[in-house]
Structure 1
């Protein structure tokens, strides 16, 4: 499988703290790649480097064989690289449907002149966005909540909405930052199934940071393990869970509380 995203020799420090140290990562097209490690391993900082939230002290990020190291997050999004956040960032006083319809970029109705000069095109595009939003709500099992305010949703429902919003954008790679955080067990199964379906049926590639090892085991292959800002190892989850270095660095610490 070809590499969709590559990070090479990434370095990032904050004051005297070296958060990422020579980290390299590759995400192959069509995979659900997991990124795990203990607290403080540098996972969140690496995610911010990949998505453009911060710029690295050194290193390179390539997406679709294009150097995006210095591109702003919105430019990366237009290339097809989207991320979610651990804390959902919905528009709380907008409905589920409105949140989805607001997501697509470069809508004609967002500009002044097309409303007057191209009203037919504006209406046609809005109708297509509405059709797509209804389709996405079905995929995310949110149809019965379409008219509810996003701020009134549960934590798990907000995660489903945030993931659904990424589907309103023409994207190839979705970076998920702890999608399982704060999600109850019933909705966790729905969320896991949605990610699996988006990968298998809709061709979306994922990079997932997650502490829930059950989710990682169900979804991710390969799995990348970070510790102290660097790559520890990578491979299939079944192999990693028996790796003494991984047990010591992460899985063992989780098991011990």
Structure 2
């Protein structure tokens, strides 16, 4: 399989703390790759380095073979690399439908001049975005909530909305930061089904950082393990959970289950 995202030698220090040290990983095209590790392992910092939220002090990030190490997050997004956050960042005063319609980048109606000189083209483009939003709401099981304000959604519904917003963008790689956090069991199955569908039916590649080992075990192959800011191991989840080094990293021998 081809490699969609790769990192090598990534390092980042904050004051006297070495958050990430000489870290590397690969995300194969079409995979759902998991990233795990004990608290303080450096997963969140690595995610920020991969997505461009912060820059590494050493190392390189390649997306589809292109060096994006110093690109801003919005420039990586335009290349097709999208990232979500542990705490959903929806527009609370907009409805579910409006949140989705706002998501596509560089819409014609965002510019002042076309609003007057190309009003018909702007209206046609808006119609296309609207129809796409209806399709995405159906995929994400959000149709019944289309007119509900995002601020009034439950934690799980906000996660579905955030994931749905990535579908409104022309992207190939989605970095998910703890998608299961704050999601109740009733919606967890819906969330996992949506990730699988985006992967199998829409060809989206995923890198998921998550503490919920049940979600990782059911969704991800392979799984990458970090500890103390560095790479520890990688492989199928069943192999990872039996790896003595991984078990030791998780607080001295607690078996992952």
TM-score (normalizing by structure 1): 0.98
**Equivalent residue, structure 2, for 1:147:** 147
**SS of 1:5's equivalent?**
strand
**Equivalent residue, structure 2, for 1:37:** 37
CA-to-aligned-CA distance 1:131-165 (integer Å, 9 cap, x gap): 00000000000000000000000000000000000
1:31–1:251 Cα change, 3 Å: farther
**Equivalent residue, structure 1, for 2:105:** 105
Contact between 2:242 and 2:255, CA under 8 Å: does it hold in 1?
A: no
Contact between 1:241 and 1:251, CA under 8 Å: does it hold in 2?
A: no
CA-to-aligned-CA distance 1:201-226 (integer Å, 9 cap, x gap): 10000000000011001110000000
**Equivalent residue, structure 2, for 1:91:** 91
Q: Distance in 2 between matches of 1:59 and 1:28?
A: 19
Contact between 1:32 and 1:221, CA under 8 Å: does it hold in 2?
A: yes
Matches within 5 A, 1:191-210: 191-210=191-210
Structure 2 residue runs without a partner (length 5+): none
**Equivalent residue, structure 2, for 1:7:** 7
**Equivalent residue, structure 2, for 1:157:** 157
Name whichever of 240-249 and 17-26 sits farther off.
Answer: 240-249
Contact between 1:95 and 1:146, CA under 8 Å: does it hold in 2?
A: yes
CA-to-aligned-CA distance 1:205-257 (integer Å, 9 cap, x gap): 0000000011001110000000000000000001111111111112866669x
Contact between 1:100 and 1:133, CA under 8 Å: does it hold in 2?
A: yes
Q: Distance in 1 between matches of 2:155 and 2:26?
A: 31
**Equivalent residue, structure 1, for 2:250:** 250
Q: Distance in 2 between matches of 1:216 and 1:254?
A: 17
Q: Distance in 2 between matches of 1:112 and 1:11?
A: 42
Structure 1 segments, 4+ long, off by >4 Å, are 251-256
CA-to-aligned-CA distance 1:32-87 (integer Å, 9 cap, x gap): 00000000000000000000000000000010110000000000000000000000
Structure 1 residue runs without a partner (length 5+): none
**SS of 1:233's equivalent?**
strand
TM-score (normalizing by structure 2): 0.98
> Is 2:217 the counterpart of 1:220?
no
Number of aligned positions between the proteins: 256
Q: Distance in 1 between matches of 2:187 and 2:255?
A: 24
1:227–1:188 Cα change, 3 Å: same
**Equivalent residue, structure 2, for 1:185:** 185
Contact between 2:12 and 2:21, CA under 8 Å: does it hold in 1?
A: yes
Two-structure CA RMSD over aligned residues (Å): 1.2
